[in-house]
C-alpha cells in the first residue's frame, strides 16, 4: 500500500500530489503578520483556504486571533481539533443547519456567526429558546458593501439591529462586510480606491449603529487582495485574509508578488503523443480547478497548461522552447487555491526536498 512518510524525499511522492514549500509558506505568514499586526487590527484568517486545523494553529501561533470558516460543517471539524474561536461568515439558514448550530454552540460557546435577515435571526433565537441554553450567540450583521452576494443593504441595517435587540438569545457585537468583488481588481490604485469606498459603507454603518445605542465592537472585512487597505481604514477592527498563505496565479496577477507561491500540485509528464512541443501530464480537472483560468507550471516561462479531461493535461511550448521528457516532474501553480485544495486529501509539506509534515485536508468536502 502506498504510504508516504515524513523523512521521505519529495521525488519519492506519487503524482498528482499537493505539496507545500514550508520555507515559502512561513515567509508568507511572516510577511502578512509584519504588514498588518503593527496596524492594530485583529487578524482572523479565513480557513476556507487551508481547510486545516493544523494550519489554523500555526497561524494562531504566528499572531492570528482565531479564524473564519465559511460553513458550519467546517466549524464542527476545526473546533473539535481545538480551534474554537471561530466566526462562521455565511448565514446559517434552515432547520437542519440551525439545529447543528445549537449542538456546536453547546460544546464551543466561542462560536460566532452572521445574520442578514429578520427571518434568519428569529429562527436561531427560537432554536436557542427551545434548547435551554442560557448564553446568547455572539452575532454580527452581514452587510452588503458591493458584492451583492449576501448581506443586508446598509439602509436596512438599523431595522435588523433593532429586531435583533428584541431577541433574547442573540447578542449583537458587530458588523461584517466582504468586498469579494474587489479582491482581484488589477492595479493597486484602482483596487485601493474601490476598497476605500466599500469600507466607507461598512464603517459608516457601524458608526450609525453605535449612535443609535448598539454596542458594535467588531467590524470585520477583507481578503488577501484588500487586507492592507482595510486595516488602514479607521474603524476596521479585524481582517480575514486567507489565500496569502499559499497564493495562486489569479491573486498574483492582481496583487503582485509580495506573497509567493508556496503550494503546488506536483505532477508527472506521462506521454508525448501527437506533438514534439507538447507533453501530457497526469493532472487534469480532478487535480486543478479552472474557475479562475488554467493552472500554470512553476518557473517555466513560455510553457502553458491546458486541461485535457479528468486525469490529464497538456503542457505546450513554442518551437525552440523547453523540451520536457517523459517522466519529468512539474510543479503546477493553481489558478484558484481554495477549490483546488478541496480536491486533495493531504498536504505534503517539505523543506529542502524532504517531507517534514503531512497534513490531512480535514474539512475537504465540508460544504454544509
Question: Is 187 inside a domain boundary?
Answer: yes
* 3-class secondary-structure state, position 333: strand
Distances (CA, A) of 289 to 29, 344, 350, 363: 24, 11, 23, 18
Question: Is 223 inside a domain boundary?
Answer: yes
Structure confidence by residue, pLDDT tens digits, 187-239: 999 999 999 999 999 999 999 999 999 999 999 999 999 999 999 999 999 99
Question: Is 136 inside a domain boundary?
Answer: yes
Question: Is 283 inside a domain boundary?
Answer: no
Residue that the C-alpha cell 459603507 belongs to: 201
User: If you average pLDDT over every residue of the chain, what do you get?
Assistant: 97
Question: Is 331 inside a domain boundary?
Answer: no
Question: Is 257 inside a domain boundary?
Answer: no
Q: How many residues does the chain have?
A: 368
Structure confidence by residue, pLDDT tens digits, 16-30: 999 999 999 999 999
- The DSSP-derived string for 276-302 is TTEEEES--TTTS--BTB--EETT-TT
Domain that holds residue 224: 22-246
Q: What pTM, to 2 d.p., does this model score?
A: 0.97
Structure confidence by residue, pLDDT tens digits, 288-321: 999 999 999 999 999 999 999 999 999 999 887 7
What is the count of structural domains for the chain?
1
Question: Is 168 inside a domain boundary?
Answer: yes
Question: Is 52 inside a domain boundary?
Answer: yes
Which CATH number do you get for residue 183?
A: 3.20.20.10
Amino acid at each position: 500500500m502506498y504510504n508516504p512518510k515524513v523523512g521521505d524525499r519529495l521525488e519519492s511522492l506519487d503524482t498528482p500530489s499537493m505539496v507545500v514549500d514550508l520555507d515559502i509558506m512561513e515567509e508568507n505568514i511572516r510577511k502578512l503578520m509584519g504588514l498588518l499586526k503593527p496596524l492594530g487590527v485583529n487578524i482572523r484568517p479565513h480557513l476556507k483556504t487551508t481547510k486545516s486545523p493544523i494550519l489554523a494553529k500555526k497561524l494562531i501561533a504566528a499572531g492570528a486571533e482565531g479564524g473564519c470558516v465559511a460553513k458550519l460543517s467546517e466549524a464542527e471539524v476545526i473546533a473539535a481539533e481545538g480551534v474554537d474561536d471561530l466566526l462562521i461568515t455565511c448565514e446559517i439558514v434552515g432547520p437542519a443547519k440551525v439545529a447543528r448550530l445549537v449542538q456546536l454552540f453547546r460544546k464551543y460557546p466561542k462560536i460566532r456567526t452572521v445574520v442578514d435577515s429578520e427571518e434568519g435571526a428569529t429562527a436561531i433565537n427560537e432554536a436557542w429558546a427551545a434548547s435551554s441554553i442560557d448564553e446568547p450567540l455572539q452575532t454580527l450583521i452581514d452587510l452588503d458593501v458591493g458584492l451583492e452576494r449576501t448581506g443586508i443593504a446598509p439602509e436596512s441595517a438599523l431595522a435588523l439591529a433593532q429586531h435583533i435587540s428584541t431577541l433574547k438569545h442573540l447578542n449583537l457585537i458587530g458588523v461584517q462586510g466582504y468586498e469579494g468583488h474587489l479582491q482581484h481588481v488589477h492595479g493597486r490604485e484602482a483596487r485601493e480606491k474601490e476598497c476605500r469606498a466599500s469600507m466607507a459603507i461598512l464603517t459608516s454603518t457601524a458608526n450609525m449603529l453605535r449612535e443609535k445605542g448598539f454596542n458594535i465592537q467588531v467590524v470585520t472585512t477583507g481578503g488577501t487582495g484588500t487586507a492592507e487597505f482595510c486595516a488602514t481604514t479607521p474603524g476596521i477592527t479585524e481582517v480575514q485574509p486567507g489565500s496569502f498563505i499559499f497564493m495562486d496565479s489569479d491573486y498574483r496577477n492582481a496583487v503582485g508578488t509580495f506573497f509567493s507561491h508556496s503550494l503546488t500540485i506536483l505532477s508527472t509528464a506521462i506521454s508525448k503523443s501527437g506533438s514534439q512541443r507538447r507533453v501530457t501530464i497526469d493532472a487534469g480537472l480532478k487535480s486543478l480547478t479552472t474557475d479562475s483560468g488554467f493552472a500554470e507550471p512553476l518557473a517555466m516561462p513560455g510553457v502553458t497548461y491546458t486541461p485535457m479531461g479528468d486525469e490529464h493535461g497538456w503542457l505546450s511550448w513554442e518551437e525552440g522552447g523547453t523540451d520536457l521528457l517523459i517522466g519529468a516532474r512539474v510543479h503546477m501553480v493553481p489558478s484558484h487555491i481554495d477549490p483546488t485544495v478541496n480536491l486533495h486529501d493531504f498536504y505534503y509539506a517539505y523543506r529542502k526536498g524532504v517531507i517534514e509534515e503531512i497534513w490531512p485536508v480535514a474539512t475537504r468536502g465540508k460544504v454544509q
